[in-house]
Amino acid sequence: MVCKGVSLSELEAIAAQVGVRLNQAREGGVRVPFVRFTLRPIGEGYRRVDLLHYEKARRVNAVCYHGHCAFFDLLFDRFPAATVESARAKFAGFESYAEQRDSIDGWEGSEFSGKVRFSTQCRCGDKEAPRG
């Protein structure tokens, strides 16, 4: 994802406070500085699991929906004018994020393999994953 309006060191501090880390973070931009990065889990906290393709939930080296929300909540609390663009959404400040927060919990999978919500692909509440 790409974030504008926040420095790399500030993003690293937010990630550390949430309990995730920045991966492949790099700064760019001449006129409009930005930071490009992905989020990765630290240990088992906010770790996404694959519930679709395995009998047991397979650990994935990705941050779950709840971890992303915790990161964005803190980011926009500290920097309400920041912008973030990812493959799934574009947030132009706090108000844009607040409007879209619940709608980004989409479905993953197919009719063949079944579908699960992003928010159920983790152990954040040890909840049963409803299939669509």
For residue 69, give every residue at least 6 positions away whose Cβ sits within 8 Å of its Cβ, in sequence order, or none: 101
* Token pair belonging to 28: 């760019």
- Give the model confidence (pLDDT) of 17-58 as tens digits: 999 999 999 999 989 999 999 999 998 889 888 766 555 667
* Token pair belonging to 111: 């009719």
Cβ–Cβ < 8 Å for 37, 23: yes
Separation of alpha carbons 18 and 49, rounded Å: 19
The identity of residue 71, as a single letter, is F
- Give the model confidence (pLDDT) of 61-107 as tens digits: 999 889 999 999 999 999 999 999 988 889 999 999 999 887 777 66
For residue 126, give every residue at least 6 positions away whose Cβ sits within 8 Å of its Cβ, in sequence order, or none: none
For the entire predicted model, the pTM comes to 0.83
